[in-house]
């Protein structure tokens, strides 16, 4: 995992208005050092309504924090009331966009085909998709976590070309670990993340498989991140709850140190 720069992305979910967003990003910027940014990439994924404020702050203070959105439309423009396009996000300086977060799949009916279309929409606007995959508890209990997660991966990458696939970020987020305080063991997380990398080599080639960053997500905190980051196929974390605490998020981005 030497060539892959670790990524720690904070998924704010539906928390913090644009003023609170500025306060949190300022706290992160105050604490993170150049050494931290040399070692790992730190990203925030605020609600859409916060992005312009984050952009202004990041640009104005030349911060090394990067940012992105939690979702995007499959469409680029038009009569789609309430939707936000990839081009709008690109114009706001977004680097990343989540595709297929389990809360979108659960509460907004996003299936593998929609998630695949969102990955395509991200690439059309030079956004880097963070593709979220992972099994629910019944599938885990039946031992089906690898097969299920790989089927989500296959579906979402259908039609993604090798040069695009190289830049994708895959977040393995077992649904039973999200927001529950039940973190996967490092071995359980590695099992699936390792299988994801093997599948990337099958779908593309070794170069692509070696380049793609695979994150773990699900109740990551500063106290459990070190064991997760010690795994060979885990290149960072997608962090929900703990990312709203700047002290803990910075500590997470330092691998728990
Ligand atoms: C998430 O929503 O992507 C997530 C990992 O949440 P939490 O860290 O709160 O489990």
pLDDT in tens, the chain (257 residues): 458 999 999 999 999 999 999 999 999 999 999 999 999 999 999 999 999 999 999 999 999 999 999 999 999 999 999 999 999 999 999 999 999 999 999 999 999 999 999 999 999 999 999 999 999 999 999 999 999 999 999 999 999 999 999 999 999 999 999 999 999 999 999 999 999 999 999 999 999 999 999 999 999 999 999 999 999 999 999 999 999 999 999 999 999 99
CA distances from 127 to 13, 115, 124 (A): 19, 15, 8
Given the residues 103, 110, 173, 191, select the one marked as catalytic: 173
Q: What is the pLDDT of residue 3?
A: 82
- Check pocket membership of 174 for ligand 1, CB cut-off 6 A: no
Whether ipTM tops 0.95, in short, is yes
Expressed in angstroms and rounded, the spacing between residue 79 Cα and the centre of ligand 1 is 32
Q: What is the chain's Cα-based Rg?
A: 17
Q: Which CATH class for the 7-253 domain? A: alpha beta
User: Does residue 173 carry a catalytic annotation?
Assistant: yes
Given the residues 41, 101, 103, 191, select the one marked as catalytic: 101
- Check pocket membership of 236 for ligand 1, CB cut-off 6 A: no
Closest ligand 1 atom to 217 CA: 5
- Per-domain residue ranges of the chain: 7-253
Expressed in angstroms and rounded, the spacing between residue 18 Cα and the centre of ligand 1 is 21
Global pTM value? 0.98
Residue in 239, 252, 253 to alter for ligand 1 test, most ligand atoms within 8 A of Cβ: 239
- Check pocket membership of 130 for ligand 1, CB cut-off 6 A: no
User: Does residue 101 carry a catalytic annotation?
Assistant: yes
Give nearest CA residue, ligand 1 atom 4.
240
Backbone angles phi, psi at 243, to 5 degrees: -80, -10
Q: What is the pLDDT of residue 1?
A: 44
Q: Please, is 230 exposed, middle or buried when counting C-beta atoms within 10 Å of its C-beta (0-12, 13-18, 19+)? A: exposed
Closest by CA to 150, choosing from 202, 101, 218, is 202
Q: What is the pLDDT of residue 151?
A: 98
Q: What is the pLDDT of residue 145?
A: 98
Buried (b) or exposed (e) across 44-60, using 16+ Cβ within 10 A?
A: bbbbeebbebbeebbee
Closest by CA to 31, choosing from 222, 217, 171, is 222
């Amino acid at each position: 995992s030497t060539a892959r720069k670790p990524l720690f992305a904070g998924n704010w979910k539906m928390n913090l208005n644009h003023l609170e967003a500025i306060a949190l990003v300022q706290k992160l910027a105050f604490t993170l050092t150049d050494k931290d940014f040399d070692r790992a990439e730190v990203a925030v994924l605020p609600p859409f309504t916060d992005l312009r404020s984050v952009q202004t702050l990041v640009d104005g203070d030349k911060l090394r924090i990067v940012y992105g959105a939690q979702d995007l439309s499959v469409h680029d423009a038009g009569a789609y009331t309430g939707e936000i396009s990839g081009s709008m996000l690109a114009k706001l300086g977004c680097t990343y966009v989540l595709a297929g977060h389990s809360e979108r799949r659960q509460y907004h009916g996003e299936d593998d085909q929609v998630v695949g279309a969102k990955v395509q929409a991200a690439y059309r606007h030079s956004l880097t998709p963070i593709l979220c995959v992972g099994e629910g508890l019944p599938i885990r209990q039946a031992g089906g976590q690898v097969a299920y997660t790989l089927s989500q991966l296959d579906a979402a990458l259908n039609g993604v070309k090798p040069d695009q696939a190289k830049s994708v970020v895959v977040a393995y987020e077992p649904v039973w670990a999200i927001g529950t305080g039940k973190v996967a063991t490092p071995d359980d997380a590695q099992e699936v993340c390792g299988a994801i990398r093997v599948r990337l080599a099958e779908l593309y080639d070794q170069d692509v498989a070696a380049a793609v960053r695979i994150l773990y997500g699900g109740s990551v905190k500063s106290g459990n991140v070190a064991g997760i980051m010690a795994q060979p196929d885990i290149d960072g974390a997608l962090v929900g709850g703990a990312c709203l605490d700047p002290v803990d998020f910075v500590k997470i981005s330092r691998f728990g140190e």
